Amino acid sequence: MTVTPINVLLFGAGGRMGRHLARLVHEAGHRCLEVEARQDPDVRGALDHLLPQASLVLDFSSPEGTTLLLEALLARPVPCVIGTTGLTKTHHEALDVLARQVPLICASNFSVGLNLLLQLTAQAATALGPASFDVEIVEAHHRHKKDAPSGSAQGLVASVQAGRAAGLGQVHADVADPVMPVLFHGPGMTDGRPAGAIGVAAVRGGDVVGEHTVFFLGEGERVELSHRATDRVIFANGAWRAALWLLGRSPGRYTMKNVLGL
């Protein structure tokens, strides 16, 4: 099958994800326009020059880099996949504005398996409810990861909250119940565990690519849902799958659930 080449702007091309994505873009027969925010002294100038040539943008940079990218995209909208973690409310507000003009996907984790875990977690939370089962989320990553808990762990918290809300028949399933706090476990924690709370613990060390386990702990039984990543290439594969799915879509904010048909 003949591929019609497109120009893909890769922002954050010098990172590990960037290198994996550049290979996938080239292997698919497309052209990769690379920008590395940490090395280019005029990032905004590079973006203003390359965006008019791009049919698609992939961003795996930094929160600071994504700020510059979104400023440029709001002036010259292009469909985009945003995989930068640690984004703020301001970033998401800008993404909402951009999504009125082009299709986009912003996700903290593009692993197909992890996104399935998010769905299964919500279903389990709906079925088990907050009364009989405590929920604990444990995530582990390599020693160099800067943020904790991970964006995926926070996504799992949101899945539990949405699942519980759906089970309770709440109208807004994405709103956390204020009587069910999120506990971020750490050294020296001595307080008891409130009923219905969602516990989150982060482990950092070695070269762990990424592991997430959700424990539903009841009396006399427990359910464990886990995902373990052993190769970072799965994140690039998922992001590229999302990017190809996005092409030709109507403007809007999509998710990996949409990509996977969940």
**The dihedral sign for the CA sequence 39, 41, 44, 50:** negative
CATH topology of domain 7-106+233-260: Rossmann fold (3.40.50)
> What's the CATH number for 112-229?
3.30.360.10
Q: Which candidate in 30, 141, 212, 227 is catalytic?
A: 141
For 72, 137, 196, 198, 214, the CA distances from 180, given in Å and listed in that order, are 40, 14, 5, 7, 16
Nearest in space to 113 (alpha carbons), one of 152, 165, 87: 152
Q: What is the pLDDT of residues 85-134, one digit of tens each?
A: 888 999 999 999 999 999 999 998 899 999 999 999 999 999 998 888 99
Per-residue pLDDT at 175: 44
Specify the pairing of strand 134-141 against strand 210-217: antiparallel
Judged against a pLDDT cut of 90, whether residue 173 lies above it is answered with no
Q: Give yes or no for a contact between 105 and 259, defined as CB atoms under 8 angstroms apart.
A: yes
Q: Give yes or no for a contact between 133 and 108, defined as CB atoms under 8 angstroms apart.
A: no
Is 145 marked active-site?
yes
Judged against a pLDDT cut of 70, whether residue 177 lies above it is answered with no
Per domain, the residue ranges of the chain are 7-106+233-260, 112-229
Percent of the chain residues topping a pLDDT of 90: 69
Beta bridge partners of 211: 140, 228
> What are 119's two structure tokens?
């769905």
Is 141 marked active-site?
yes
- Write down the mean pLDDT value for the chain: 89
Percent of the chain residues topping a pLDDT of 70: 91
> What are 90's two structure tokens?
């301001």
Per-residue pLDDT at 38: 72
Judged against a pLDDT cut of 90, whether residue 243 lies above it is answered with yes
d(CA 56, CA 54): 6
Q: Could you tell me which residue, 146 or 92, shows the higher pLDDT?
A: 92
Q: Which of 11-25, 95-109, 157-171, 228-242 has the lowest mean pLDDT?
A: 157-171
pLDDT-derived band at 73 (thresholds 50, 70, 90) equals very high
> What are 89's two structure tokens?
């409310």
Q: Which candidate in 145, 185, 212, 257 is catalytic?
A: 145
> What are 85's two structure tokens?
């973690």
Q: Tell me the average pLDDT across 201-209.
A: 94
